[in-house]
Chains A and B, each alone.
Chain A
Amino acid sequence: MNTAPMILLILVGLVLVFGVGVVVYNRRTSAPLEVEEAPAKVAVQAGADVEAEVDVEVEEPAPAPGAVRRFARAAGIFNGSFAVLRGKDKITSETWEELEETLLRADVGLQTTTALLDTLKSRVGRKDISTPQELLDALQGEMAGQLSSNSRELHFDNSVKMPNIWLFVGVNGVGKTTTIGKVAFAQKALGRSVLLAAGDTFRAAAGEQLETWAQRAEVPIIRGNEGGDPSAVIFDAVQSAAANNRELVLGDTAGRLQNKSNLMEELKKVRRVAEKEAGTVTEVLLVIDATTGQNGLSQAEQFALATNVTGVVLTKLDGSAKGGIVFAIETQLGIPVKLVGLGETIGDLVPFDPEEYVRELFAEA
């Protein structure tokens, strides 16, 4: 068949559709926010009758910080390189190549790697450093230094309009729902009264998944209808928490790719609506998968623009990925990593300790 008219049809269709679309789209985004949509049917359920299951889930306590190697079960990043590096008593071009490749392999990224190595090269030039071992030590120091300036406390404030609201955002499949389950468990252990809000109304069975975590952590949960308005679910949860004197609402949101502007708009709305009546958003935690490559920076940028991200949760650091993108996120965007996910059970979430993290990267098997 003749393809020319067909392609034209498509092109013309596109032009026409977009011409109209731009107008309508702009009008929509400038329209005043309305929240009076009827809240989705809400079921409040407390998961108090699942003690047996909870016992099983929590019998493995998190190890004391710094006591054991917890990150990156596989090995430190330099394991393959130590021999090459230390085999020489002088710093050669091969040394630099080896360092560069090692950092790139850990997803540190070309820009950050080049910056780190340039600093070290000038120190070598000043005769500050002369052996490969000194170079490694200096690199470790520089990397730890990049992660030193941020406060990593989770922000909970009794003096604000209660409840505190922590929102969890991120792309699909990074572990938001699992992380919320773990945070709920940890915050409850601190004596805080927690309520979960199942704001992922998009993905099939996301609500059920969070509900299982609510039962494991023994905290109540507010759910809406699948396909419903996530803002309404979060709003209802905050109202419910305010009415029942609950201190902390943990809001789940659907995973979304950061280049989907309509979904990012939806997320902005969730954040605005969350504190419309009661409650204050005191944390917006961006969940990032440790296997993520350089796209992690774009994720942090876009989510920060949309929701004013206050911290990063780095998940799946118990695998072979090293999560090196956090250096770029911290140095370029100033967003601190606050928590680290290390497994599928409820206790597998620990505060991020940059010293420990960098030490693990340099660890020897």
Chain B
Amino acid sequence: MFDNLSSRFESILKKVRGKGRLTEADVDEVLSEIRAALLDADVNVGVVRTVVARIREAAIGAELSQALDPGQQVVKIVSQELTAMLGGETLKISYASKPPTVVLMAGLQGSGKTTSAAKLARWFKSQGRHPLLVGADLQRPAAVEQLRTLGKQIDVPVFSEPGDPVTTATRGLAEARRIGKDVLIVDTAGRLSIDADLMDEIRRISDAVTPNYTFLVIDAMTGQDAVNTAEAFHNTLAIDGVILSKLDGDARGGAALSVKEVIGRPIAFAATGEKLDAFEQFHPDRMAGRILGMGDMLTLIEQAESVFEKEEAEKAAAKLFEGDFTLDDFLDQLQQVKKMGSMSSIMGMIPGMPKAAKGAEIDDDMLKVTEAIIRSMTKEERRQPEIINGSRRTRIAKGSGTTVPDINKLVKQFTEMQKMMKRMGGMAALSGGKANKKGKPGKVNPIKMAKAMREMGLSDLAGPGGSMKGFPPPGKNPSGIPSEGFPDFRDFR
């Protein structure tokens, strides 16, 4: 997500960061690079002009204030501007006092409305709601079948009938009331913003169901035309929020910035994968930090907290640091991590992850392989991996469909991890234990963490630019290429 834009800014800001003073030539160079980066990211020409002007103005004013060093000033200014452009704050969904809460999906052909409708339904379910999907795309062949299939996968009923989309939507609303569903999501056919007849049709659908939320689905790969599309749909329907689809691609996603700027509505959700749980509320403030290469630590923590059972995690952590963390416990943790989403999206959220690793697309099947290996072990083997001898290895390899070297590697790495954790135990107990006594949540000390991780050979997780929560990296690794101790992700390509 936004990776290319992030790396562009990183390289630009690196130039500025070390300097003691920012000359006017520096400002101009930075601005011209920022302009190029934004244009390459498909941010609309007009929006680029506005934001560059704003940054210039702010940069000149800030120069006089002299509160921060010039590099910090530019980082702050660019980050502030991008945050403002991306939405300023999170869209909060509130529910209609008289259910159902009606959601209307709109967008161009192929932007991902049907998939997003199903993902949204799943999201509402996770919020404890009871959605009904309405298939009002009667245009594209098999669109309703697609929605029905997706509905089955997430166990959400789908209403549709052939004929007229306005009537279908109206009946869908009546059906939701009849069967007592509290959220209604209406999928519509894709349409071009310049097709007057179809734009009129969706206006009539909107009039018929009076949606509480109208979402415009925008493909993250969209170019300059995103603003025309957004404006046309906004003029017709009054858009409440944007769903940014296909954000797991390598598109820089500048369309998101443009759309927000042009229609002034936030990006409510982002779709980050083909699986139906790859859908999250969009956090503009955090995303701006991410564009600047700071990572999205907050999202990671929040997601982790919602997934991990508190005690379970604490128990596992205690075990981990005492060194009696078994492969069984590891398997449990793997399950938890899996719940957080795809590996690549988690990787992307860890700040300071080496670029090669961030860019690498990680196959979630690899989790399954690890799982298969562990599951092919006996209880005893999982508790004491050291008893795994040659014949046990062959058996485990056969059982999991892998090879003996795979087993060796896993066991070796697991043992090393156990050792590392034991060593780290003391350190973490120090920083965490003190906070717990006061009954407050412990805070990560990023510098200590990074230092400890470096000592463990995990240097690339801690740096380069490895600013956990924005702290400067204690070590340097300017190449950005993973060194020893970390798998070389270039092999993935």
Q: Is there contact, CB below 8 Å, between A320 and B229? A: yes
Give the complex CA separation of A292 and B252 in angstroms. 12
Residue numbers in A under 8 Å from B346 (CB-CB): 10, 14
Residue numbers in A under 8 Å from B145 (CB-CB): 204-205, 208-209
A13 in contact with B347 given A23-B405, A321-B223 (CB within 8 Å): no
Task: Kindly identify which residue among B42, B321, B409 contacts A294, using a CB–CB cutoff of 8 Å.
Answer: B42
A262 in contact with B141 given A18-B366, A292-B222, A293-B251 (CB within 8 Å): no
A104 in contact with B110 given A11-B461, A16-B417 (CB within 8 Å): no
Considering only residues 268-294 of chain A, those with a C-beta below 8 Å from chain B are: 289, 291-294
> How far apart are A67's CB and chain B's nearest CB, in angstroms?
21
> How far apart are B302's CB and chain A's nearest CB, in angstroms?
10
Q: Is there contact, CB below 8 Å, between B219 and A173? A: yes
Considering only residues 30-47 of chain B, those with a C-beta below 8 Å from chain A are: 36, 39-42, 44-45
> How far apart are B240's CB and chain A's nearest CB, in angstroms?
22
A101 at the interface (CB under 8 A from B): yes
9 closest residue pairs by CB, A with B: A293-B223, A173-B110, A5-B317, A21-B366, A293-B42, A212-B141, A204-B149, A208-B142, A205-B145
Residue numbers in B under 8 Å from A19 (CB-CB): 409-410, 413, 487
Considering only residues 395-436 of chain B, those with a C-beta below 8 Å from chain A are: 402-403, 405-406, 409-410, 413-414, 417, 420-421, 424, 428, 431-432, 435-436
Q: Is there contact, CB below 8 Å, between A16 and B370? A: yes
- What 0/1 readout, one digit per residue, does chain B (159-198) give for beta carbons within 8 Å of chain A? 0000000000000000000000000000000001110000
Q: Is there contact, CB below 8 Å, between B146 and A107? A: no
Q: B residues near A, CB below 8 A?
A: 36, 39-42, 44-45, 108-112, 139-143, 145-150, 153, 192-194, 219, 221-226, 228-229, 232, 246, 248-252, 254-255, 274, 300-301, 304-305, 308, 310, 313-314, 316-318, 320-321, 330, 333-334, 337, 343, 346-347, 350, 359, 361-363, 365-367, 369-370, 373, 402-403, 405-406, 409-410, 413-414, 417, 420-421, 424, 428, 431-432, 435-436, 441-445, 449, 453, 458, 461, 486-489, 491-493
Given contacts A8-B421, A13-B333, 9 further A-B contacts (CB under 8 A): A8-B317, A14-B343, A16-B370, A16-B417, A19-B487, A291-B108, A294-B252, A320-B232, A325-B223
A17 in contact with B224 given A24-B406, A209-B142 (CB within 8 Å): no
Task: Kindly identify which residue among A13, A23, A324 contacts B409, using a CB–CB cutoff of 8 Å.
Answer: A23
Closest to A289 in B: B110
A-B contact pairs, 5 of them (CB 8 A): A20-B366, A22-B487, A104-B224, A109-B40, A209-B145
Q: Is there contact, CB below 8 Å, between A17 and B254? A: no
Q: Is there contact, CB below 8 Å, between A291 and B225? A: yes
Give the complex CA separation of A112 and B124 in angstroms. 44
Give the complex CA separation of A258 and B45 in angstroms. 26
Closest to A316 in B: B109
A175 in contact with B109 given A1-B310, A20-B369 (CB within 8 Å): yes
Give the complex CA separation of A148 and B403 in angstroms. 54
- What 0/1 readout, one digit per residue, does chain A (72-116) give for beta carbons within 8 Å of chain B? 011000000000000000000000000001001111011000000
Give the complex CA separation of A26 and B343 in angstroms. 18
A110 in contact with B337 given A25-B366, A293-B223 (CB within 8 Å): no
Q: Is there contact, CB below 8 Å, between A20 and B337? A: no
Please tell me the number of chain A residues within 8 Å of chain B, measured between CB atoms: 76
Residue numbers in A under 8 Å from B486 (CB-CB): 15
Considering only residues 115-133 of chain A, those with a C-beta below 8 Å from chain B are: none
Residue numbers in A under 8 Å from B402 (CB-CB): 24
Closest to B436 in A: A2
Q: Is there contact, CB below 8 Å, between A26 and B491? A: yes
A47 at the interface (CB under 8 A from B): no
Q: Is there contact, CB below 8 Å, between A110 and B36? A: yes
Task: Kindly identify which residue among A6, A106, A109, A203 contacts B317, using a CB–CB cutoff of 8 Å.
Answer: A6
